[in-house]
Structure 1
Amino acid sequence: MERPHFIRAWRESLRSLRWRLWAALLLLVVTLLGVLIFLAAEYEEARDQTALEQDAASLVSDIRSSLVRNVQTLQSLHSVAPTADSWAFPAAELMAQHREIVRLEWRDNAQQVTAARDTPFIPELFGYLDRDQALPEVRLACDHARRLSGPAYSSSYFWPLRHGKGLELIEMCLPVARAGLPNGFLVATYSLPGLLSELTNRDLLRGRGLAFNEADGTRLALHSIVTGTRRTLTARQVLDLPGHTLILQLQSPRLLRGLFPNVLTAMVSALSLALLSVLFLLGRDIRRRQRAEMEVAKSLAFRKAMEDSLVTGLRARDMQGRITYVNPAFCDMVGLTAEQLVGTGLPAPWWPPELVDEYQQRQMVRLAGQVLPREGYESVFQRPDGTRFPVLIIEAPLIDAQGKQTGFMSAILDLTEQRRVEDLNRASQERLQATARLATMGEMASLLSHELNQPLAAISSYASGTLNLLEQPEGSGVAVADPVQADLMQAVRRIGEQAERAARVIKSVADFVRRRQQVREAVTPKSLIDAILPLLSLQAKKQGIRLQIQIAPECPSVLCDRTMVEQVLLNLARNGMQAMPLTDPSSRMSLRVLRLEVGQARLHSGLAPGGLPQKAWVAFSVTDHGLGLSEEVQAKLFTPFFTTRAEGMGLGLSLCRTVIEQHGGALTHEPNEPRGTVFRFTLPAAPVQVAPLSSGA
């Protein structure tokens, strides 16, 4: 009972869907017809607007041409009427022919009226106001005409008449000459309504509105208006006159024509019926296709979700080696899109160039039908940016539904992360070995410090006893006269001092290995250099190297472990001497110099929070003129057990940097010009002890 109910509901849903499709189709046809009608109306309106713009331009051209002809007529009037008496009659005839001119004046060079004539069509034009009220516009136009040596127009102005009427007038001034000399001006007063009525084509103005406007839209003169409430089109054209600019506005009513041409309506209707027929024919197949398409869609969605979730790259190829399918993981792996990969053959775009021949031979063997190893094989792929990465490829034959092999399916695993983990394990083992060696060195250093203390103490005791035997008894009054004996006493003193210094060095190394807190004191840079100077001088003299020591004046003392810093200076200086071998053929005596410099360096400027001064530092530098350091040596310079000398242990510079960093400073190096290397390190300056001020009674 439930199945028929389900089928009935399914059919009702299909019927409802069919009606919805019909309604959507009808709405589409109606919308299409509406759009076509709208586009046709817009086209007609644009066409009417273009025609109106052309008519307005034609009217402006007519007015401009008529004004030019009027100027020529006025020039001929002056030539045929040279005197004021003879000028009046031709002027009256001219004004009778040109209704747009309401007054003609002949003015002398001082712009005084010589002769004048008013239009007979407007009685008492200047009866309400005197003509002198328009004198500023006349003078402005004539001054402009004198500068242009041609006709010039004034700005328009309103001239009131009796009974509340008035006209918008404009002055035109034309300079005239006789026998090549200025002979005054001809002033023509135009009526703007007269210009619109007399100088325009009346055929173009039927049923249209015409007016003169200012540039800001203010209406000056009106000839006709558009009647009715219909929509109007407006066109504006500029009448550019010498000295003044007017805007001609032409309006036309919007003509309402047919809704749409019948041919287009018939075409749209035929297309609509054809579309409905096609949909009706296709509707019979929808029900049979829908179920099959839903099943296929589910199957494809399941397959795609499964393939997209894989991190293993999948690649299918046909029997000719062309790629037929790749999944997103493989595309991400090789850095190419599926569109770039599908259809490509051998050689593959991800093969390294130098391995193309080897990979080509291997693929030919597989395509020839050889048995494929199930355990896979390793290879190297290359991305478009040149990055290479190792992969593991596992291939299997691709069999279709008829049991025929159509290609190969490959699963590719990226081994980059596995190789990285292996490299990390290898590096960790190397660091553990280095740590074990350092621990062994620490134990050896502790053992050596313990074993060497007794011989050093014995050396110091023997040196003290020998010195006591060589010295003269007190109170004997006998001075040491033998120079050899004096030198021997000095040598014995030096032996005792160096034995004590060696004991301090061993004690400092032992404290450093045991991580004990070292005693730091304020030491002057000069005393640090003086302590190692005898040893440096002896070695420099033996190798023929000249020492240069420069200490900046007023350099503050440093707060440090005296013995350890002396050992750092001694180690850097010895390294600098060893970097300048005697067998260097390019070395010259002028360059065999070891320079030690000490100066104050303030790493920060200003004041610290709270108003306290920033911490001051003292910079030490050791400069040699050796062969310099290569890039490979610079990368491993401070690595423990790395050395460039056969007899070296590779711990000197590493211990020096550790000592300086324990003091809060930094040990750096840089090339020296023209050759050699500069080693620099910084130590904190000792704080200045300020004595408290005693308060007086």
Structure 2
Amino acid sequence: MTPDTDFPSSNTDWSALETRTERSQALQRIWRGFMTARPAVGLLLLALQGIAFALGQSTHAPTLAITALYAAFTLADRLRTPARLPLRRLGMTWLLCIGLDVGVFALLQALQTGTTVNYTPLLALPVLMAAVAGGLVVGLATTSAATLLMLAEALRFQLAAGPDGPGRLLQAALTGTGLFVLSLLAHQLALRLAREEARASRSQDSAQLQAQINALVIEALAEGVLVVDEAGRVHTANPAADALLGGGLDRGSLPRSLMAHPAWQPLAGLAQRTFEDRADLGADLPIAQPQATPRELRVRTRLTAVDGARDRGFCVMFLQDLRQLEARIRTEKMAAMGRMSAAVAHEIRNPLAAITQASALLEEDLTEPAQQRLNAMVQQNARRLGRIVDEVLDVARVRQQGSDLGQGTALPLAASVYTMVDEWSRQSGRAQPALRLVESLPAVRFNEEHLRRILVNLLDNAARYAGPGEESIRVHTFAAGDGRPTLAVWSDGAPLEQGVERHLFEPFFSSESRSSGLGLFICRELCERHGATIRYERLRPAPDVPAGNAFLLSFAPAQAGALPQ
């Protein structure tokens, strides 16, 4: 079976979700209404005949019997399984429903001996149903059958020499014409209804599918997403947002007010300002975490209000962890620096070596003190430029090394630190820093040469900013609260500015114009390669000592059975 009318094709890619006409919910509802109206009509006819009998009028037994049988049959037929719509031909379904109604109503009209009751208006019920639930052919066929039956009854009445035979014949013709017009109009309305329902169904399916796609995209986003209304209630939150806010935004608890959680109140305030200003905003907000240090989040807001709508829409908040954002920036910087390293090696290092060698040869022939000073300046700046080139290349080498460096070695922390500090003191010509080393600490998992490089860098930085006192630089080892062996390099220098502290371990960042800004960055990279961490704190090494700058290295303990270096 093929539909009578083809629906217009959709301009989307959701053709697989198009609703077929045979499954039209609107037609099914109309059919159920028709099936309910049939027994109602039968019961109403019985009631009218009962009222007529109560008023003293005579009862026509055949009419009463046909009406009772029709009411009983239609009431039972209402309980059966709904028909498959639309009706494409005059089959058994049509015969037991529409055809039966046409025959019964025509028979009731034919059994009338007078003109007190006119049953022809009831023929509009099966004609309408045939035009709506069936195709054009079924509707016109039903209307034709009803018209022919009315004309046959009028002709029979005229042949029986009835007093108003021509009038009844004309009335039947006019009624039939009206039924044809009614059938055509009902059929056009049914087609329009089917088209609109199919279009609405396709739009709904497309919207649901798009909503599912959007939900999957939001779930997979690395940044957090919150959808907040004007009252500060969260209606949607993805897993990333739940993790950034420390949990508590599971689906079962939504919608949930941001004001109900003290740590989320800054987010509620930002959302409220977004609604008040009707503009997109952004801010860096500290969000307290359960059993952890506060997390700094970068928050951006976007409004989703519809122009002219009564409500003010929703505020969509995008959350990013500043630490991860800065790490991504560092990665991008390192990628750019890696590409630059090869050019540095060929374009700077080779000419620099020639300059250094030429300066050394020239020094042998210079006798004037002024010329010797100028040549010394050339050698000094050449060596400085060489160190910068070496640091750049070292960063590239550190990034390219495997992550398993030194993982199978055990380094005694106290003894190694003592030896390295002593070497630094003799080479730099400075007094040895104050040491407090705990020899009972377990061995750490680290490469000895890498630890020497980190410690020398930290001691050079401390010596650059420390005061002239004997204990202006201190080196301690101890066990942290989590049991991890920790090394602290402390100096009594002035506190760092907040902007400097924030970017302390970033590449190419330095508070001095003569520094490459790579020393602390290399220290952090080496620590991460060995599962260690490095951080800066402002603390007191002893109760009677003023606060100073400290760099703390927390090491991973050496694995059981690791070989000592």
TM-score, reference length from structure 1? 0.29
* Bigger proportion of residues as helix: 2
| Larger RCO (CA within 8 A; separation ≥ 6) | 2
Which of these two proteins has the greater Rg computed from alpha carbons? 1
